[in-house]
Amino acid sequence: MSDFLLERLSSFLSGVNASSPPLAAGQVSLVGAGPGNPELLTLLAMRRIIEADVVLYDNLVGPAILDLVSPEAARHYVGKKAAKHALPQEEVNQWLVRLAQSGKRVVRLKGGDPFVFGRGGEEMEALLAAGVDVEIVPGITAAVGCAAYAGIPLTHRDWAQSVTFATGHLKHGLSELDWPGLARPTQTVVFYMGMTAAAGIAEALMAHGRNPETPVAVIYHGTRPDQKVVIATLATLAQKISAAAMKPPALLIVGEVVKLYRPD
């Protein structure tokens, strides 16, 4: 990076830092780390990570982002994978409360955005109920970041007039979802945590009227150097995932906009 750019960046960051107060003792910041690429981290997220005394981080937070944590700060993994939770959510909530009440500056670091399938709402409720000051630092959610890096617009004048985010991992199974609504044409549906349920998702959409030839993109490690995209249709989705030996976590994008995908 040139001296000119470094000078401009330093000047810009100085102005930004003056616009918002630092993380306070006894405060918890729920920080969105974005979809994976560390360059997509927001400036406020970066500041909060650097300021923290303690960072509790999730599975999808990359090592380059964790490198921002101060050497003097404690970092603890509290992430979740399919059927593998480092800690139950209730224990994470209680830990955040205890850390804040002990006077620590706490960052709860989450992949994507804290309020999009990130359990951030539950953590905020627990903190507020305990009288803890909590702030939310938004991040680029996976659907937006992964779609952009794959060159797939989530909405398009000709193909999709709306977009819906849904989760493929529910307490009581896929039957909880509004399948008639999700199967409506001229919309894009993005499924988070949908890899293990991909076959069931495709079957349910087709059973409720979505065209079996509707294109689907499966995006693994979106926005990262090892991003992988598999293109299928609803009818071929399970077969294509199996043939590509893809594993969670991955995002499913369903809709005609997937036709606009072009491989590098």
Q: Write down the catalytic residue from 3, 53, 67, 80.
A: 80
Q: Write down the catalytic residue from 3, 58, 81, 178.
A: 58
Long-range contacts of residues 209-216, Cβ cutoff 8 Å, at least 24 apart: 209/180, 209/183, 210/182, 210/183, 210/185, 210/234, 210/254, 211/185, 214/254, 214/255, 214/256, 215/254, 215/255, 215/256, 215/258, 215/259, 216/252, 216/253, 216/254, 216/258
DSSP secondary structure string for all residues of 66-96: HTTS-TTSEEEE--EETTEESS-HHHHHHHH
Active site includes 80? yes
Of 161, 203, 166, residue with least CA distance to 182 = 166
Q: Which residues pair with 9 in a beta bridge?
A: none
Give, as one character, the DSSP assignment of residue 262. Answer: -
Taking the C-alpha atoms of residue 245 and residue 230, their distance in angstroms, rounded to an integer, is 10
Active site includes 67? no
Helix axes 120-129, 89-101, angle to 10 degrees: 40
Taking the C-alpha atoms of residue 30 and residue 16, their distance in angstroms, rounded to an integer, is 19
- Paired tokens of 140: 């680029």
Active site residues per annotation: 58, 80
